[in-house]
Amino acid sequence: MKHVSTKSISLGIIAAFIAAVAFTGPVASTAAAEEIQSSIVRGAKLYDKWYKVIKAKAPKKPQAAYPSDKKYAKKPGSNWRCK
């Protein structure tokens, strides 16, 4: 049986790791970029009409923190939105 040194095993493991990173790096970066983009898009939808995103009906009561003297004070579906 031939003796294989731990140094050559370590170098083989390191080479395999570098090859794996080199091969999957662009894929992982693309996946991460797509995840960030989808999060931004979802955030924009939630920012505008969160109740549609979660498939709920528009609120019937005004948002308590919305100032009563502002444009959308009497429109609950609008004053729950982030404007």
74 found inside a domain: yes
pLDDT at residue number 83: 60
Tally the domains of the chain: 1
33 found inside a domain: yes
CA 39, CA 36: separation in Å to the nearest integer? Answer: 5
19 found inside a domain: yes
41 found inside a domain: yes
Q: Digits of tens for pLDDT over the chain (83 positions)?
A: 555 555 666 676 777 666 666 666 565 678 788 888 888 888 888 888 888 889 999 889 988 998 999 998 898 888 887 66
**pTM for this one?**
0.47
1 found inside a domain: no
52 found inside a domain: yes
Domain extent for 23: 6-79
16 found inside a domain: yes
CA 83, CA 80: separation in Å to the nearest integer? Answer: 9
22 found inside a domain: yes
Residues 46, 47, 48, 51, Cα dihedral to 10°: 40
